A and B are shown apart, each in its own frame.
Chain A
Amino acid sequence: MGELKLMKGNEALAEAAIRAGVDGYFGYPITPQSEVIEYLMAEKPYERTGMVVLQAESEVASINMLYGGGGTGKKVMTSSSSPGISLMQEGLSYLAGAEIPCVVANVVRGGPGLGDIQPAQSDYFQSVKGGGHGDYRLIVLAPASVQEMSDFVPLAFDLAFKYRTPALIISDGLIGQMMEKVELFDQIPRLTDEEVIKRHPWATNGKPVGGERRILTSLDLDPHRLESHNWHLQAKYKTIEENEVRFEMLHCEDAEYVIVAYGSSARIAQKSIQLAREKGIKVGLLRPITLWPFPKKPIDELTKSGIKGFLSVEMSAGQMIEDVKLVVEGRTKVEHFGRYGGVIHSPEQVLEALEQKIIGG
């Protein structure tokens, strides 16, 4: 068993970055995730593993530091919250286009605009539909506990490097700020420079002696070549959709109704399901762990099995519900419930919505 600690979600994420063998963290403070860079600065990871930690002048600079550092084959990471992640969208588009691996964590707060500093899930569209310009996708992991804030860091890096694409860990102010018991994984050694060079021949870390120089760019002025590059990206995204869907199902075996919820909302929904079952309502939970690729197949199978309705529970005005509807295609009822703008729904409110919108509606 690994080391047990009581930690905030943000601290667990930061500790996991050190233990995952990250080479560089580049970030800019923003509530409610400033503990990430504060923890890293206090922890002196450059003494523990040689990891570089740098406070950048902006989120725009942070994400471009990821481009530079990730482009050399090193493991690089940043974290921010919604307004800061909006500033990173240009960079994420370039990183996806140039196929540079990196990990970005978004501890979501209420929006739009400066919004507030309370938990929200209203950055779903931005995360899974491509928040920047052009046809691209990010691998999006949604932790629902402090434990997963830790566990998803190495997972995100594995996926980012496997597919040479940015990966996003999307939590919210609730998971970032709450304290829970977390079992920390053992230190994964940082790769040596020689290992980085050997493992990532595409990376720009100095032209190999007698070899060809490497170029990392998202630019190609020839439309036919750029179209080919897009075909290559789309083929890659298709492979990811086929192989990397992650989800969790709870009490779905005998369920008549299913709540679809991720992250904090999934935690709240667990209680709602317990309350519902105490009243004799057979309801289950489908928790997408990867928001992209979205777990289409289990939703389709539940639909085919005769589920009477899905309730998409999100701390947003209804974003993920669109993806649920795309799978269900009108075969059964799909409704949304959620408080937003930084307000968190209660388990009772979720149950009430289920009874009114799905069962009674």
Chain B
Amino acid sequence: MVGPAVAITPFRGNPSGEMRMIEIRVDEEACNGCGLCVKDCPMGVFELKDSVSSPVHPENCMGCLSCHEICPAQALEHRGVVPCRRMYVSMKVCRMLNRVI
């Protein structure tokens, strides 16, 4: 496991003095309770509660989006993540759709 301090550093420096956290939302209707986010998260952010994923330690999230990537139901939404991964969006698809999806 990676130490949390390293991962959270980029989000320090909020004027209010608080550490800004990534906000994680779970679409409970969509979630199938497969537990892949629990298994894949390197920071132990998620737990299953009554067969629905719950972000019990959002403060540990380092924004790697592994959970987002593996979720079969696309039930997870992150706010406050610097979307560096989106640099690899396929421009061919976006041009065909006239928008960045």
Chains A and B form a bound pair: no
- A residues touching B (Cβ–Cβ < 8 Å)? none
- B residues touching A (Cβ–Cβ < 8 Å)? none
